[in-house]
Amino acid sequence: MQIQDLPYPDPGVPDARSGPRFLWWLGRNQLGGQFKALAWGLLHFVAVSGLPFCVGLAVQAVVDSSGARLALAGGLIALCGVGIALGDAMLHRAAVTNWITAAARVQQLLARRTAELGSALTRRVAAGEVVAVSTGDVEKIGWFVEAVSRFAAAALTVVLVCVGLVLYQPALGVIVAVGVPVLALAVLPLLPRATRRADFQREKAGRATELASDTVAGLRVLRGIGGEELFLDRYRSASQEVRRAAVHSARMWSLISAIQVLLPGLLMIAVVWHGVGLARDGSITVGELVTVYSAVMLLTYPLRHFEEIAMAYSFSRPSARRAARVLSLQRAVDSGGTLTERTPGGDLYDPATGLLAPAGRLTAVVCGDPDAAGLLAERLGGHPSEEGTSVLLGGVPLDELPLDTARTAVLVQDKDPVLLSGSLSELLDVPSSGKVSAARALAAAQCGDVLEALTQGSLDAQDPMDAHITERGRSLSGGQRQRLALARSLITDPEVLVLDEPTSAVDSHTEARIADGVRSLRAGRTTVVFTSSPLLLDHADRVLLVHEGDVVAVGVHRELVHSEPRYRAVVTRETEDEATTAPSGGHPTGEAAPGSALEDDEAVLNGVLEDDAAPLGGVLEEIEETA
């Protein structure tokens, strides 16, 4: 695999049982690149290690006054120079390719797993941890993968040099052959402690990243309540903990580096001291002494890769463990798509709660617990965060469908949708049936003022569809972001559309028009809306009340609000004391006939909505955007 061939058509199925197994799996999937880097590395290191023999030959030729041997030595040195240059350039090229392709494979795997799990991912792994895995951890994993081939080339070169020295000059070669393994293994006892310190540093850094992402995401809210300094102080504290952990870890690695410098120096002193004695006795020539000395000196170059591979593995092992943890996450139930890939149709039914959404109808679900509503919405989408009985669509279990088919059948828009940066046309360019145009979707979601705001904010955009949307739509108000996300969902035109509080940040006037627009646009399609807004509930064909995980009431809004106290408590924000004193099915005060006061309120509200309420809607919209 070359860089220009990225991304991978299929990154494969990783071995995510543990961090080391994941690293081994990555290495096995890059054998071609690893062997290529190994070959160029051997050329480079062998050429470097051949210089001492050439220099020794040249020195001895000068001592013996042999011009032919001096010329031969010069030619060999030039040949080694060519090998060093070519090998180093191609080794760097192959190593960087291995690094980038390994990192790209990991990122593709993480992106695929994130897409499969959806919002369930952040329920199992902190968002900051996911960001850290997909950025810093990917780089560390790629570093280890590319360092393996260079380390293998360096290790083979050290073995060849030691064997060559033993054969070339046994008296000194034996000292080198015994001393080099000691140099290579001397730092092993320090690696576990260095690894623990690196893990601790990474844990602190992950916590700081998570805190920073949370602070940035909630900056507008923090400014509103004056909490910027509080969170900045928390981040400063977390940052200082990361600094102290990094210094603590760096001290251990500096000790390892010092040992890597000290021990080769001691070996060189031993070789020179013993070699000088042998040269005085005439046991070896001056050229042989220079050769052995130069070889020991140049051996420090490949030996550095022993320290590098130790560092790379120490840093990449916890990174690989975290990546494997994310990649090992699965959908709560996934039988691999045993049924047909044809998109099913029909009623949407959840056996766990008894929720039934008839095909082609607008069904509203009232749930007093927002978290429980979010989990139920995920279940209806066929990708729950917890194991349980599968939701059925037309009698077909969604969890037995391929993931792509399940998501084509049911689309879930959660209560906090994300808008990606780019133009409005790019935002709305999503997979769809082609039956709903962008103009119709935007009109149904009441995005007229949003288009005007985007056009005014983008001076170079004459067409609102070319207007630029900032990251996560931060330049828009909460209600504007919500309506654009709703329009995007409407364009897809899925068989079943599940909306979780789609108008929670919208004023009442706009909310009533959105209810009409969605009902009209989704006519003949199955739509499920999680809401407690009377305006949306009054437009639903069917309303269900979910209490403590079960459907306890079914009907229409005007009936349930009079006959079901628990429903009324959620929809009208009725307190427990009011619910206790209210007659069964009546108004909490008991001063009027059951429901008469509420009916009067509804009549007034309907009258306001039927009139031209643009001034009131504009005021409410202004208040909402200011908030």
Nearby residues of 527 by Cβ (< 8 Å), 6 or more positions away = 361, 362, 363, 496, 497, 498, 499, 518
E-strand ranges in 436-536 read 468-469, 496-500, 526-530
- Would you tell me the crossing angle of helices 191-217 and 286-327 to the nearest 10 degrees? 40
Distances from the Cα of 623 to the Cα of 453, 478, 506, angstroms: 16, 12, 10
Q: Residue 238 has what pLDDT? A: 85
Task: Categorize the per-residue pLDDT at 618 as very low, low, confident or very high, splitting at 50, 70 and 90.
Answer: very low
The DSSP-derived string for 89-107 is HHHHHHHHHHHHHHHHHHH
CA 30/CA 9 separation, integer angstroms = 15
State mean pLDDT over 490-509. Answer: 91
pLDDT tens per residue across span 168-214? 888 888 888 888 888 877 877 887 888 788 778 877 877 787 777 66
The residue among 284, 267, 287 whose CA lies nearest residue 275 is 284
Q: Residue 209 has what pLDDT? A: 74
pLDDT tens per residue across span 329-369? 876 554 444 444 567 778 999 998 999 999 999 999 999 88
Nearby residues of 248 by Cβ (< 8 Å), 6 or more positions away = 197, 200, 201
- Above 60 in pLDDT, residue 622? no
State mean pLDDT over 43-49. Answer: 89
pTM for the structure as a whole: 0.62
Q: Residue 355 has what pLDDT? A: 93
Tokens of 616: 């009131």
Distances from the Cα of 246 to the Cα of 204, 254, 313, 483, angstroms: 9, 12, 17, 45
- Above 50 in pLDDT, residue 597? no
The DSSP-derived string for 133-175 is IIIIIHHHHHHHHHHHHHHHHHHHHHHHHHHHHHHH-HHHHHH
